[in-house]
Structure 1
Amino acid sequence: MEILEKVDDKEINETLHVLADVVVALHSSGAHYARIVRNVERMAKGLGFEVELVLTFNGIVLTIYKDKNEGSYTLARSIKIKGINFETVSGISILSWDVLENKISTRRIGKILNRIKRKVVYQKWELYLLLPLASVSLCRLFEGDWLQCIIAFISTLLGISFLKFLRAKSYNSFFSYFLVTVLSVSSIHLLGAIFNLNHIQALAVSVLYLVPGVILINSFIDYLEGYIEAGSSKFIYGLFIIFAIASGFFFSNFIYNLGIFNHVLYDFSETQQSLVFHEESSHALLFATKFLFGGLTSLGFAVLFNTPKRALWVVFLLGGIGFLIKYVLNVEMNFSQLFAVFCASCFVGVSGMYFAHRTHTPPVVFTIPAVINMIPGLLSYQFMMGIINWIMQPNGKVQNVDEVIKILNTGISAIFIVFALAFGVAFAVIVFKSHSVKGNDLNKLIELYFSKNAEKKSSQ
């Protein structure tokens, strides 16, 4: 649905529509509000207009004018499709600079935009291979053995295939997340039961590919940029997705506790005991392992988010180094997990500014996939299982106070770690928000930022 004021000016009409198409494409591809505003303002300026934008979760109101005294023109449009496509976000960012610098026509902008939206970044087999491998890497980072890694691979493959099917059939998003969670978690319970396997680590990673990490991080960036309404709508949407996932987890565990999966077909418990990983003999090997699996995890999620292929090496590098920093601070140096995650995500966020112009890609396109491996999966799993066990207590049995405190402490810790993760990624964006990374190295941005602050202090 769209409402357009009747105007005779063909230039106004074409400009309104092409800018609205840009906003819708960015919004439906997972860009945060500030990035949408910057891109649209840049393009409008290149076309000789000023622009004002009101963005809601399900629609936009776009106004353009050359001189307010001569009148303005407004277009409203609804937005239905929601997803993550960083190739589209990156392509439109490049296009916006092209419009500003080369003053290309609206007709050409429309053609380029259509090519960007139609571009297929990864084939299905690449997603169905790399995302399950990301779950395997996460399972290994959570100290799972190879048998747990195998069932995590199978669970993720089944889940992402089912999710793609439900989206193709246009099922309700929240119901789709519920069904996919039931399938993923139930498949692990089933495989764990029939082969008599310990599968706690596999369960901890079973639904992490469904967690709305991009949405929550974008909502946090919107809050920090002052776009409270936009941030709130994303945050609430993300909470509903988490609720759908938690409901699916609860339902799967409820079925499992009924004893349906208790029949052992083949007993691999002794084999599993022999496959337990031993601590690496040297720090160098240990760190190399953490780096490798951290990078592979980020790489798999980058494919899920349609990250441009030219940026994949940066995602792998930042994902591996970021997780290694978190591991060293938390495990080797005994800092809290919250502090370790914050420092590691800050490193990723600031490094993203350096690599942005080298890959011709907005920083968040590869910084968000790079920090996904630091999501507190085990804490979230322990919190969820604690709540489920609490809810399923037999009638008349009172939950131990210490257990309740432990459950709540786990949940609060997981929430604050996610906040630290989001703030670390957003840190560089907020600090350097008045400067584009286009054509600039990180050291120049830092020098510019601090010299600007020094001038302010001297003038006071």
Structure 2
Amino acid sequence: MIETPQKLIEDRKAQTVLNLLTEIGEMMINSGAHTARIVRNLERIAIGLGYNCELVLTYTGIVISVYKQNKFKAHTLAKTIKSKGLNFETISEISILSWDVFENKISIDEIKSKLKQIKARKVYTNLQLYTLVPLASVALCMLFDGDALQALIVYFSTLFGFFVRRSMMLKHYNHKVAFYIGATISTLFIHFIGVFCAIQVKEALVVSILYLIPGAVMINSFIDYLEGYYESGTARIIYSLMLILMVSFGFFTSAMIFDLPQVQTLNVFDFSDLQKQIRQLFEPQGLAVEVAKFIFGGITSLGFALMFNTPKRALWTVFILGAFGYLFKFLLNAEFDVNLTLSIFIASCFVGISGMYFAHRAHTPPIIFMIPAVINMIPGLLSYEFMMGMIDWISGKNGQKPAVEEVIQTLSYGIVTLFILFALAFGVAFPVVVFKSYSVKGKDLNVLLKKLFVRNNE
């Protein structure tokens, strides 16, 4: 049977739409969008172009079918996706583009032009990233009661590790190897300064690798689980656990090197007294403690927002949510003796719900500033104690097996760390899933929240 010219034109257009949707889906997966958001955006664009679509998404591939009315005449395309990253600017711009297609029915050529602009857009310069991102680790160090000297050390350790890891990822080296090398470099630098200058660097080591923790991937995995995308959620959680394992191995490598007796002889200076004086001079007292937690909590979130390429228009929201979220968690735990895990869960829920409310003001999907806003609540000290306990087991100091009490204590650190990470991720994911049926763009969510607040006040 000879196909009519009209049929050939329709088939060609369907194939063009299919290729376009596949390209957009690949961009969103590469940029760190959770599965439900990818599905919503692709379906919205397909409808705007006059098509229905069926999607099968995993963390490493995408299968899309498009059709007009008859499913049995669908055009289908499958594509493997290998590269992974985080670019919240891309996610935000594609979300805006999807609404533009849906409401204004813009042409395919216009969509391609806008996608080209999105791909070419550079949110922050290399100088901005390498200068400002390490401030997140500096602020974390101060949140964990470190001193100004350790904060300075952490700045440079993060700068070196972040530079190497980012350079390797841009050159498409294996991500797990890049994370391992980044963690090794950061911790080696801190250990070296600690031995060379005879200063205490515990707090610096606690935060030295937190910039490498894949918090965004873990939160996305929880959202996928809650939305019913179990394959994608499982793949994300396995990927994040592999990255954490490589980061831990980098920490272990550095610790084992500087545990050697020969390395301990590298001590040249003794700045221990200077460190004590600096700690006493800059230690906050009274209300200044809460003010410091507020400011450093916001700065930490801003640093991670830059690392995730968060849109500039959303940075003010990130700072506010990060600052208030961390202060809320601190007050619950320190002032009201609420369990740490529960405090973090409540604070992350607060950030999640508040983020939904503020989303339309920044014209940005809420998850884009929720994730950097809660990163400052990562249980750094507990994870550090767990890793140090594991290192003591493996190194077998003094040729003795660890005592039962030490084993139990180390395992408890690890279990509590996992529960806190789950609480953190679930606290952010829960509001996103609960309020997903309310359009932030149409401000329906804001009306709902106002009704709830009025009802509670009455």
TM-score range, shorter chain: over 0.9
* 1:83-102 equivalence runs, <5 A: 83-102=85-104
Tell me if the contact between 2:357 and 2:449 (Cα under 8 Å) persists in the aligned partners.
no
Q: Residues 181 and 346 from structure 1, CA distance in 2 versus in 1: closer, same or farther, beyond 3 angstroms?
A: same
Higher helix share: 2
Tell me if the contact between 1:432 and 1:445 (Cα under 8 Å) persists in the aligned partners.
no
Tell me which residue corresponds to 2:302.
Answer: 299
C-alpha deviation, 1:447, in angstroms: 6.8
C-alpha deviation, 1:349, in angstroms: 0.3
Tell me which residue corresponds to 2:258.
Answer: 256
Deviations 1:29-53 (CA, angstroms, capped at 9, x unpaired): 0000000001011111111111111
Aligned equivalents of 1:34 and 1:11: distance in 2? 26
Matched to 1:329, the amino acid is L
Q: Which residue, out of 40, 44, 48, partners 1:38?
A: 40
Residue 104 (structure 2) pairs with residue 106 (structure 1): no
Tell me which residue corresponds to 1:355.
Answer: 358
Tell me which residue corresponds to 2:285.
Answer: 281
Aligned equivalents of 1:29 and 1:175: distance in 2? 20
Q: Matched residue pairs, number?
A: 444
Q: Residues 68 and 211 from structure 1, CA distance in 2 versus in 1: closer, same or farther, beyond 3 angstroms?
A: same
Tell me if the contact between 1:380 and 1:414 (Cα under 8 Å) persists in the aligned partners.
yes
CA RMSD of aligned residues (A): 1.7
Deviations 1:382-422 (CA, angstroms, capped at 9, x unpaired): 11111111111158622111111111111111111111111
Does 420-429 or 273-282 show the bigger shift?
273-282
Aligned equivalents of 1:262 and 1:199: distance in 2? 17
Tell me which residue corresponds to 2:3.
Answer: none
Q: Which residue, out of 338, 341, 347, partners 1:338?
A: 341
Aligned equivalents of 2:451 and 2:45: distance in 1? 25
Tell me which residue corresponds to 1:27.
Answer: 29
Does 329-338 or 162-171 show the bigger shift?
162-171
SS in 2 for 1:60: strand
Tell me which residue corresponds to 2:20.
Answer: 18
Tell me which residue corresponds to 1:271.
Answer: 274
Deviations 1:147-198 (CA, angstroms, capped at 9, x unpaired): 1111100100111111122223322111111111111100000011111110
Tell me if the contact between 1:57 and 1:233 (Cα under 8 Å) persists in the aligned partners.
yes
Matched to 1:19, the amino acid is L
Q: Which residue, out of 387, 390, 402, partners 1:387?
A: 390
Residue 137 (structure 2) pairs with residue 135 (structure 1): yes
Tell me if the contact between 1:354 and 1:441 (Cα under 8 Å) persists in the aligned partners.
no
Tell me if the contact between 2:88 and 2:309 (Cα under 8 Å) persists in the aligned partners.
yes
Q: Which residue, out of 313, 316, 319, partners 2:319?
A: 316
Aligned equivalents of 2:324 and 2:291: distance in 1? 10
- Using the size of structure 1 for normalisation, the TM-score is 0.93
Structure 1 portions without partners, runs of 5+: 1-5, 451-460
Residue 431 (structure 2) pairs with residue 403 (structure 1): no
- Using the size of structure 2 for normalisation, the TM-score is 0.94
Structure 2 portions without partners, runs of 5+: 1-6, 454-458
Q: Residues 418 and 213 from structure 1, CA distance in 2 versus in 1: closer, same or farther, beyond 3 angstroms?
A: same
Aligned equivalents of 1:411 and 1:7: distance in 2? 61
Aligned equivalents of 2:150 and 2:398: distance in 1? 34
Aligned equivalents of 2:413 and 2:312: distance in 1? 37
Residue 214 (structure 2) pairs with residue 216 (structure 1): no
Matched to 1:179, the amino acid is I
Matched to 2:218, the amino acid is L
Tell me if the contact between 2:44 and 2:102 (Cα under 8 Å) persists in the aligned partners.
yes
Deviations 1:422-457 (CA, angstroms, capped at 9, x unpaired): 11111211111112211316441347899xxxxxxx
Tell me which residue corresponds to 1:455.
Answer: none
Identical-residue share of aligned pairs (%): 52
Aligned equivalents of 2:241 and 2:85: distance in 1? 16
Tell me if the contact between 1:189 and 1:261 (Cα under 8 Å) persists in the aligned partners.
no
Deviations 1:349-408 (CA, angstroms, capped at 9, x unpaired): 001111111111000000000000000011111111111111111586221111111111
Aligned equivalents of 2:284 and 2:147: distance in 1? 14
Tell me which residue corresponds to 2:73.
Answer: 71
SS in 2 for 1:296: helix
C-alpha deviation, 1:57, in angstroms: 2.0
SS in 1 for 2:211: coil
Does 338-347 or 105-114 show the bigger shift?
105-114
